[in-house]
Chains A and B, each alone.
Chain A
Amino acid sequence: MKPARFRYIRPASIDEAVDVLAEQGPDAALLAGGQSLVPLMNQRLRCPATLIDLNFVGELDCRGDDEASLVIGALVRQRELESDGALGRAEPLFAEASLFVGNRQVRSRATLVGSLAFADPAAEYPAVLVALGATATARSPRGERELSCAKVATGAFSSSIAADELITSVRVPKASAGRGSAYTEIAERRGARALAGAAAVVELDGDGSVASCRVVLAGVADVPLQVGGLESLRGEPIPAGKEIRKLLTAWTRNIPVRADRRADPRYKRTLAAEVSISALRCAGGRARRLAR
Chain B
Amino acid sequence: MIVMATEMISVDAMVNGRRVVASVEARMSLSDFLRHRLGLTGTHVGCEQGVCGSCNVLVDGVAVRSCLLFAPQVDGRIVTTVEGLQDIPGLERAREAFVAEEAFQCGFCTPGFLMALAEVDFRPGEAGATDLRQFLSGTLCRCTGYQTILNAVRRLG
**Interface range on chain A (Cβ under 8 Å from partner):** 35 or more
Q: Does A2 contact B (CB under 8 A)?
A: yes
Using CB atoms and an 8 Å cutoff, list the residues of chain B in contact with chain A: 1-6, 9, 25-27, 29, 32, 48-51, 53, 56, 62-65, 67-70, 72-73, 116, 133-135, 137-139
Within the complex, what minimum Cβ distance (angstroms) separates B64 from chain A?
Answer: 5
Within the complex, what minimum Cβ distance (angstroms) separates A60 from chain B?
Answer: 15
Q: Does A16 contact B (CB under 8 A)?
A: yes
A106-B65 in contact given A9-B2, A99-B134, A191-B138 (Cβ < 8 Å): yes
Chain B interface secondary structure, helix, strand, loop or mixed?
A: mixed
- Interchain CB contact under 8 A, B49 and A8: no
Task: Choose, from A32-40, A153-161, A257-265, A277-285, the stretch at the interface.
Answer: A32-40
Q: Which chain A residue shows the least CB distance to B76?
A: A56
Within the complex, what minimum Cβ distance (angstroms) separates B59 from chain A?
Answer: 9
Q: Which chain A residue shows the least CB distance to B50?
A: A39
- Interchain CB contact under 8 A, A39 and B49: yes
Sample of 17 more A-B contacts, CB < 8 Å, known A9-B4, A10-B3, A42-B68: A2-B27, A6-B6, A7-B6, A8-B4, A8-B72, A9-B3, A10-B72, A34-B69, A35-B65, A38-B68, A39-B50, A103-B53, A103-B137, A103-B138, A105-B63, A105-B138, A109-B69
Q: What A residues does B135 contact at CB under 8 A?
A: 104
Q: What B residues does A106 contact at CB under 8 A?
A: 50, 65, 68, 138
Tell me the A36-57 residues at the B interface (CB within 8 Å).
Answer: 38-39, 42-43, 51, 53, 55
Q: What B residues does A191 contact at CB under 8 A?
A: 137-138
- Interchain CB contact under 8 A, B1 and A9: yes
Within the complex, what minimum Cβ distance (angstroms) separates B106 from chain A?
Answer: 21
Of A39, A51, A104, the residue contacting B138 (CB under 8 A) is A104
Nearest 3 CB-CB pairings of A with B: A103-B138, A8-B26, A39-B49
Q: What B residues does A12 contact at CB under 8 A?
A: 1
Using CB atoms and an 8 Å cutoff, list the residues of chain A in contact with chain B: 1-12, 16, 20, 34-35, 38-39, 42-43, 51, 53, 55, 79, 99, 102-106, 108-109, 189-191
Of B2, B64, B72, B73, the residue contacting A105 (CB under 8 A) is B64
CA distance A42 to B46 in the complex (A): 13
- Interchain CB contact under 8 A, B27 and A5: yes
Q: Which chain A residue shows the least CB distance to B135?
A: A104
Within the complex, what minimum Cβ distance (angstroms) separates A38 from chain B?
Answer: 4
- Interchain CB contact under 8 A, B5 and A105: no
